Amino acid sequence: MEVLGIDVGGTGIKGAIVDTSTGKLTTERYRIPTPKPATPEAVSKVIQKMVKHFNWTGLVGCGFPTPLQHGTCLSGGNLHEDWKGTNVKELFQQKTGNQYSIVNDADAAGLAEIGFGAGVDKEGVVVVITLGTGIGSAVFLDGKLLPNTEFGHVLHKNGEIFEKYAADSARKREQLSRKKWGDRLHEYFEHIELLLSPDLFIVGGGASKKLDKFEARININTPIVAAEAENEAGIIGAALAAKFHIK
């Protein structure tokens, strides 16, 4: 089964047609810069362009970078405040006529890892943490997704949410060394380990490629491995979410 997978990000919107039985892209990936400001109207026009580029009339899976409940944004995330209260699925269907499945972008990345990456055949509780502009989370029990978790928003002891303290954007903003950033990530992963007692952590996002630079600073009992799907995870996972009607 082929599905058009779209990964909406803060800087770029990427798409490709995915063979959901293999997790392989059957077309070249196509990227359009995220509009500024990233209002619902502006982003939906990019989705129209994406669908037209692939001349696609079938099912579309879309990973979206905001907290979601049944396809409706609970906040604007890192896009625009006007997204709060917007039903993304209904908006995109109205704009293109296609049927959509909308999932949180971290859930999409997690689905790709469970389906075809580092989480294949892993039983028990597997937690995928994406480290980028923010901290995203996807939680699985025996391969089944618990959707819409926001474990980047748990509070640090200093009173701010952890993603403002330990995301990759915080490392860049404060010019932290890998060791100092690793110490902050230790605090984060230790806290999540206490809350969930997982069997495995999978680290995704851009930071996953450099896990070896800071992994030694994260001194916890749960094994930690790098994600394998990398840049295509959001596209592949969004397509899988559509295939399995995850929402």
Q: Which residues of the chain have pLDDT under 70?
A: 247
Q: What is the pLDDT of residue 247?
A: 67
Residue 32 near residue 46, CB atoms below 8 Å: yes
What is the strand order of the sheet 144-146 is part of?
144-146, 135-141, 125-131, 200-204, 224-226
Q: What is the pLDDT of residues 43-88, one digit of tens each?
A: 999 999 999 999 999 999 999 999 999 999 999 988 999 999 999 9
What is the residue type of 123?
E
Enumerate domains of the chain plus CATH numbers: 2-107+232-243 (3.30.420.40), 120-227 (3.30.420.40)
Q: Write the single-letter amino acid at 193.
A: E
47 token code pair:
């989705």
Instruction: Report the predicted TM-score, pTM, of the whole model to 2 decimal places.
Output: 0.94
